[in-house]
Chain A
Amino acid sequence: MSAALDTLLHNAAIWRGSERSRAESAAIPSGFDALDETLGGWPLGALIEIIARREGIGEVSVLLPALARLSRGERWVALINAPHIPYAPALFHAGIDLAKVVVIRATGTADTLWAMEQALRSGTCSAVLGWPAAMTEQAIRRLQLATETGRALGIYFTQPGAIPRTSPVPYRLQIDGTIDSIRVEVLKRRGGGLASPLLIGPAQIGLAKIF
């Protein structure tokens, strides 16, 4: 295969028919080849659930290259009800334009979901990351609709404790850590098809150089 074609196929905007049955409208490169191959980049306009097996395994790091890219546009990157202080020096170091970041603290699940829906639906956010304490099927449907309307990268984080087996969310990823890498398992994706778990490593963004 020629080098040019090879590069082309690595472009996340390119969709290989053999991998999935139906094309998504829009996606942005995740910054990780393995993830782009399996997922075709982070989809825009489709809600994504990220189940983090525990804290600190790279559940946010997998998103940072995409957020950096999105923050160069004209829209907000919204962080809603984050579990800790989103640390400005780290986000800056990851290449995110801080002038586009808006941090929203909501007390209670209802306000968190409301804020997520407003942010997603408004069309003024390129990415909305939310940490709701609980999730209902109805809330997922509303957020999915809002994500479609706003054509945003819409993500909510859950803990592995209470995951219902079926959920209307179109994308579902489970993230775990290994001794030296991030393990991403795509549990559900548009176009169907199972994918084998993939490893992103050696570890969280920025840590590669000290491994």
Chain B
Amino acid sequence: MLWLCLNFPRLPIEIFLRAGVAPDSLAVAGSGNAPLVITCDARSAAAGIRDGMTVSAAYALLPELNVRPRDTSAEQRCLEEIALWALQFTSQVSVHAPDSLLLEIGASLKLFGGLDALCNRINESAAQLGFDTLTAVAPTPRGAYWLARSGLGISVTDRETLQHRLNRLPVACLDAEAKTFQSLARTGIQTIGQLARLPRDALARRFGQRLLDQLDRAFGKLPDPQMTFIPPSAFSAHLALPSPVSEAQALLFAAHRLILQMTGYLSAGNAGVTRFRLVLENESGKTTDAIVALSMPSRDPKHLLNLLRERLLQTRLAGRSEAITLEALDIAQLAPRNFSFLPDAAHAREERATLVEKLRARLGSDAVHGLSLFPDARPELAWHEAEPGMRTQPGPPLLRPAWLLKQPGQLKLHDGQPYLDGQLRILDGPERIESGWWDGFDVMRDYFIARNTSGATFWVYRERVPAGNWFLHGIFS
């Protein structure tokens, strides 16, 4: 077993900053009578604000400072959402509250091309999601956690080196109460190594069995089973926007973070999304949905973002958005790609589908369709809108106009003869079409092909019941 700890040291503020729209000079503070600054952004830090400072002192330094109360439940939810994304690297992910994920990567090394390649990839991907990370690798989960938290970005793969490294860590990395740390300080114990050298029974007596167990787990002397994160059946990720946003571009920046989380999750199961939704929550709590449908499953973040952009540009936003949620509505397995040198039919089909999606994202899904034949004698029912690319059954070889009118238009008569930009001369007909008595849409018509003196040719019919009226139904363009 080899554990990688992915620690998010700035999570309390990054849950606000990663949306890209946070106000300048933001700090996150704890609660209580004299709240302390937990962490702050670069601009506040430049003004001299430090972690652990009281909020009132921070205001004195920077009057325009924005202070947000810490939102631990949002942090927890964010961690679980990142855990979904992390499933692409290993199937065993654990959420280690309040600020870390633990990934068992022993089985993933070969797939990702070794430890260094995997670590780089994880760090880069996390940065794209908008997080600073500290990582460390160790044979025990707690060891990896301690090493990561201490800021040592190291990879340790054997127990001996681990012991050596852990011994030099300060006792502050232990999970203990304030009074325990005080008594440790009083006895002059500063490092894990000093603590571990104490007689075990004395250690347990003075500082509690829990502390001893922590040490044993870190060194691997006690098993330390981790609760494997069980992904929910559907993907959903939420992002609060600290400043309300109405510009599509800013929304897209924030949505991009969530799309990357979703595609990470999708790649864990070699799946693609065929329908997803961005829910925009406005200031008064109302929501607007932007739904994107794809004709072929995809997990290409660039492609998905493009589709979402087109969709958003077409969506009427109800006021400014305060939060966004991305949901994968339909997920399908991706067919394994055929890596041939020649462009094959499947690849061409995929490329064609991309265009259809792009057009649909902006124009609406009804606005793009294919054509198919349908065996019905009634001209308006002899064809259907179909999914583009659908094969159709062959039809009878009938002489038909290239354009059919959406509604037949009644023709004027001159001396009892139909007339359209001039007298119409009958070229062909009648072709009698009688059908539909069974479904209430009866058609009893005699069709003719007729041409005027300008050379325009039309498909017209004379109604038999009620008798006599002439209609234009098609144009031989």
- Do A and B assemble together? yes
Known: A92-B394, A118-B359, A124-B354. A99 touches B457 (CB 8 A): no
B365-393 near A? 1/0 per residue, CB < 8 Å: 01111111100000100111110111110
Any A CB within 8 A of the CB of B21: no
Question: In the complex the two chains form, is B401's CB within 8 Å of A87's CB?
Answer: yes
Question: Which residues of the other chain, B, contact A137 by a CB distance below 8 angstroms?
Answer: none
Stretch at the interface among B93-101, B262-270, B448-456: B448-456
- Residues from chain B with a CB closer than 8 A to the CB of A115 are 359, 362-363
Alpha-carbon distance A205/B405, docked complex (angstroms):
19
B403 at interface (Cβ–Cβ under 8 A)?
A: yes
Asked if A179 is an interface residue, CB under 8 A from chain B, the answer is yes
Looking at A85, A101, A206, which has the most chain B CB atoms within 10 Å of its CB? A85
> Max chain A CB contacts within 10 Å: which of B345, B399, B476?
B476
| Residue A59 CB within 8 A of the other chain | yes
Q: How far is the CA of A205 from the CA of B428 in the complex (A)?
A: 14
B428 touches A210 (CB 8 A): yes
The total of chain A residues at the interface (CB under 8 A) is 57
- Whether A182 lies near B403 (C-beta < 8 A) is no
Chain A residue contacts of B362, Cβ below 8 A = 111, 114-115
- Docked Cα-Cα span, A127 to B85, in Å, equals 41
Q: Is the CB of A89 within 8 A of B402?
A: no
B399 touches A207 (CB 8 A): yes
Determine the chain A residues whose CB is within 8 A of the CB of B382 once the complex forms: 88-89
Instruction: Decide: B403 and A207 in contact? CB cutoff 8 A.
Output: no
Per the 8 Å Cβ criterion, residues 396-430 of B in contact with A are: 397-406, 421, 427-428
**Binary A-proximity of B171-212 (CB < 8 A = 1, otherwise 0):** 000000000000000000000000000000000000000000
Most buried by A among B355, B356, B368: B355
Q: Which residues of chain A come closer than 8 Å to B372, judged between CB atoms?
A: 88, 98
A86-B455 contact given A60-B477, A91-B402, CB 8 Å threshold: no
- Of A90, A114, A122, which is within 8 A of B354 by CB? A122
Q: Which residue of B lies closest to A203 (CB)?
A: B457
B359 touches A87 (CB 8 A): no
Residues of A within 8 A of B392 (CB): 88, 92, 98-99
Cα A53 to Cα B476 in complex, Å, equals: 14
- Does A93 belong to the interface (CB within 8 Å)? yes
**Chain B residues near A76 (CB, 8 Å)?**
352, 355, 388
- Contacting residue for B363 out of A56, A61, A84, A111, CB 8 A: A111
* Chain B interface residues (CB < 8 Å from chain A): 343, 345, 348, 351-352, 354-356, 358-359, 362-363, 366-373, 379, 382-386, 388-392, 394-395, 397-406, 421, 427-428, 449, 451, 453-458, 474-477
- Contacts beyond the supplied A84-B405, A86-B371, A122-B354: 11 A-B pairs with Cβ under 8 Å: A59-B477, A74-B343, A76-B355, A89-B379, A89-B395, A102-B388, A103-B385, A115-B362, A122-B351, A203-B455, A206-B476
A–B pairs, 27, beta carbons within 8 Å: A56-B475, A57-B454, A57-B455, A57-B457, A58-B477, A61-B402, A64-B402, A84-B403, A84-B474, A86-B403, A88-B371, A88-B383, A89-B398, A93-B395, A93-B398, A99-B390, A102-B355, A104-B363, A104-B367, A115-B363, A119-B359, A179-B455, A180-B455, A181-B455, A203-B455, A206-B476, A210-B399
